[in-house]
């Protein structure tokens, strides 16, 4: 076992372990667990949770694969030592939770399962957001779809400007007291919004938040300006999504070339606005550096995120099994500090842009500023 304490006080363990499974509880034959794997685990914020340094994300996975493929991919992740899985009720209007629930059936022990609520799931008024009315219904439906009686980490997918925060967080505290939820987190929140909840929790005796999920990659570094410092100061786990910037950092999009058929940028045309000359200059640099190491651009992009001590765990995702496989090699890849610094330098300009997925109220309607 190799233990490393980083400059920010977080403990990182690189272990040769068997994959997480029911046998960790002492049940079953340990010979059935599977082959020994190498993985890193970290402390998850101000909690007792230990999570894998990579989190398996279910955002797009349900769309293009069969149920058998989806289940096999989750099982492979577990075999690789991944014990942290993130989904949301809004992924495929619940289908992401359904598929993950089927895959984790019989393998729930030892797994840290995270999901979210906020998006419109019901047709009636109040069928979205962070009201008590919506959250109480949403958590019951998530438990049913995930085929579990508790959720390890329950997150608000976005802030809800139409609901008093006292109502929202008193409801989440109730869920913890009921045993349906064990820990609380939020996604796409400003640092001050998390601070507001921590203050309310301390004042009212409510369960505090332990994590914040935000977008972070070489082309979106805005959280470095404030969020990173806040999370370090208050020991909030920083869980990041979009390490490949919607596929832009995989190398599939070329300067002056047509958008590949079936790609994410074809499905979401507004994202094509991100393909500027500045972005292509960065892609050229990333591609050249990845070539020198003999690895993929996708691996280098995620390895850059992992290299940041302030990031607790990035979420890896994809729409096909082969999108996940290169990520399991990351712990055997070493990138020189000088090259990490070079990537920092050429992408510095991307620290200064709009914070992603923060809801806005316009004419009484809520919209998200995303691309």
pLDDT reported for residue 39? 82
- Of the CA atoms within 13 Å of residue 92, those in its CB half-sphere come to 18
Residues 6+ away with beta carbon under 8 Å from 148? 101, 104, 108, 113
Beta pairing, strands 151-156 & 181-187: parallel
For 26-70, the DSSP string reads: T-S-GGGS---EEEEEEE-SSSS-EEESSEEE-TTTTSSS-HHHH
pLDDT over 90 for what percent of the chain?
69
CA of residue 371 relative to chain centroid, distance: 17
Instruction: Round to the nearest angstrom and report the end-to-end CA distance of the chain.
Output: 42
On the question of pLDDT at 10 being above 60, the answer is: no
Going from the C-alpha of 67 to that of each of 63, 104, 279, the distances in angstroms are 10, 13, 36
Model confidence over 254-281: pLDDT tens digits?
A: 887 777 776 666 566 667 678 889 999 9
What is the pTM assigned to this prediction? 0.88
CA of residue 279 relative to chain centroid, distance: 23
pLDDT reported for residue 32? 42
Task: Report the DSSP beta bridge partners of residue 360.
Answer: 367
Homologous superfamily, domain 52-368: NADP-dependent oxidoreductase domain (3.20.20.100)
Q: Single out the catalytic residue among 91, 241, 253, 310.
A: 91
**Identity of the highest mean pLDDT range in 55-64, 280-289, 351-360:** 280-289
Q: What is the DSSP letter of 268?
A: S
Question: Rounded mean pLDDT of the chain?
Answer: 88
Total Cβ atoms within 10 A of residue 77:
25
91 catalytic? Reply is: yes
pLDDT reported for residue 5? 46
On the question of pLDDT at 331 being above 90, the answer is: yes
Give the C-alpha separation, 333 to 147, whole Å: 36
Task: Report the DSSP beta bridge partners of residue 228.
Answer: none
């Amino acid at each position: 076992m190799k233990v490393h304490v980083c400059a920010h006080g977080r403990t990182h363990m690189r272990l040769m372990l068997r994959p997480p499974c029911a046998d960790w509880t002492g049940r079953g034959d340990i010979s059935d667990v599977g082959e020994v794997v190498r993985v890193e685990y970290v402390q998850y914020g101000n909690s007792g949770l230990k999570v894998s340094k990579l989190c398996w994300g279910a955002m797009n996975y349900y769309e293009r694969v069969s149920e058998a493929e989806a289940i096999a991919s989750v099982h492979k992740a577990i075999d690789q030592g991944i014990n942290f899985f993130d989904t949301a009720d809004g992924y495929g209007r619940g289908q992401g939770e359904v598929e993950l629930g089927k895959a984790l059936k019989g393998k729930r022990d030892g797994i840290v399962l995270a999901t979210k609520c906020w998006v419109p799931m019901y047709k009636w008024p109040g069928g979205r957001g962070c009201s008590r009315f919506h959250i109480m219904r949403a958590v019951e439906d998530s438990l049913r779809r995930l085929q579990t009686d508790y959720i390890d980490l329950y997150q608000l997918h976005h802030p809800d400007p139409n609901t008093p925060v006292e109502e929202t967080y008193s409801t989440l505290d109730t869920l913890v007291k009921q045993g349906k939820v064990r820990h609380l987190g939020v996604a796409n929140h400003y640092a001050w919004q998390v601070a507001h909840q921590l203050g309310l929790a301390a004042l009212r005796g409510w369960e505090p938040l332990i994590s914040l999920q935000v977008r972070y990659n070489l082309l979106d570094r805005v959280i470095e300006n404030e969020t990173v410092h806040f999370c370090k100061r208050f020991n909030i786990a920083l869980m990041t999504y979009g390490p490949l910037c919607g596929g832009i950092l995989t190398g599939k999009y070329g300067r002056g070339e047509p958008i590949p058929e079936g790609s994410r940028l074809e499905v979401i045309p507004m994202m094509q606005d991100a393909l500027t000359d500045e972005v292509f200059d960065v892609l050229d640099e990333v591609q050249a550096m990845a070539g020198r190491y003999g690895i993929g651009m996708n691996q280098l992009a995620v390895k850059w995120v992992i290299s940041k001590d302030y990031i607790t765990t990035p979420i890896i995702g994809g729409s096909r099994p082969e999108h996940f496989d290169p990520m399991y090699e990351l712990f055997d890849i070493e990138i020189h500090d000088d090259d990490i610094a070079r990537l920092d330098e050429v992408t510095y300009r991307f620290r200064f842009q709009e914070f992603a997925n923060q809801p806005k109220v316009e004419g009484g309607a809520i919209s998200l500023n995303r691309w």
